[in-house]
């Protein structure tokens, strides 16, 4: 990563996700990780997209810093929210449910800056191919999906489960980077210096 210019504010990433941290680093945005402790539960009957936006806002409001970026990803199939699986057995059930079907990945994004704040949600449709029983068993046993909403990681071994993506790939990874970039620009973050570095 390029050296950090002193005039670029450090962004507080209000998330412990290594995927989000990696994406900010790829963009050359100076940041530090400080995930707040908040209740990430989706309320019964809450719309999954609304929940993703609300949870991102909750994280942003509970983090300290002049520039704060927060995100939350909610995976839903037929309106049913699939959070992070508690164990490999639940991960297997998630994969069985997703096999051969479409589902939605909603990533809420919230920014807080000295000039104001904004929140949005980006939604992407993902289709899994028909999975063989042994693939479901092997992937669940790998443990890769245990820290991820929906129980899979599209940027890791879980990429082989996915047949099609309709929308923004980075939303599925957990951070809609193009929309983040646009929001930072609207709020006055010095983005030209990122490309000048």
pLDDT in tens, 10-20: 999 999 889 99
Does some domain include residue 2?
no
Higher-scoring residue by pLDDT: 44, 167: 167
| CATH assignment at residue 169 | 3.90.950.10
Does some domain include residue 6?
no
pTM of the model: 0.91
Give the domain range for residue 116. 11-196
How many domains is the chain partitioned into structurally?
1
CA dist 67 to 20, 105, 115, 124, 126, Å?
A: 16, 26, 9, 27, 31
pLDDT of residue 195: 67
47 is catalytic: no
pLDDT in tens, 95-132: 999 999 999 999 999 999 999 999 999 999 999 999 99
Does some domain include residue 15?
yes
Q: Which of 72, 78, 102, 130 is catalytic?
A: 72
């Amino acid at each position: 990563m390029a050296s950090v210019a002193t005039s670029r504010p450090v962004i507080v990433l209000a998330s412990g996700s290594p995927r989000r941290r990696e994406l900010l680093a790829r963009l050359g945005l100076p940041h530090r990780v400080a995930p707040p402790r908040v209740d990430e539960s989706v309320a019964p009957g809450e719309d999954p997209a609304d929940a993703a936006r609300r949870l991102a806002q909750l994280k942003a409001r509970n983090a300290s810093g002049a520039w704060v970026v927060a995100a939350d990803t909610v995976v839903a199939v037929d309106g049913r929210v699939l959070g992070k699986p508690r164990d490999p057995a639940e991960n297997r059930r998630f994969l069985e449910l997703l096999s051969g079907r479409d589902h939605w990945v909603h990533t809420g994004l919230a920014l807080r800056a000295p000039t104001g704040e904004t929140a949005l949600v980006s939604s992407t449709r993902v289709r899994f191919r028909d999975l063989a029983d042994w693939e479901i068993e092997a992937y669940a046993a790998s443990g890769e999906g245990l820290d991820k909403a929906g129980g899979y990681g599209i940027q890791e071994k879980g990429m082989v489960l996915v047949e099609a993506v309709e929308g923004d790939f980075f939303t599925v990874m957990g951070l809609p980077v193009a929309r983040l970039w646009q929001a930072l620009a609207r709020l006055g973050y010095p983005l030209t210096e990122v490309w000048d570095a």
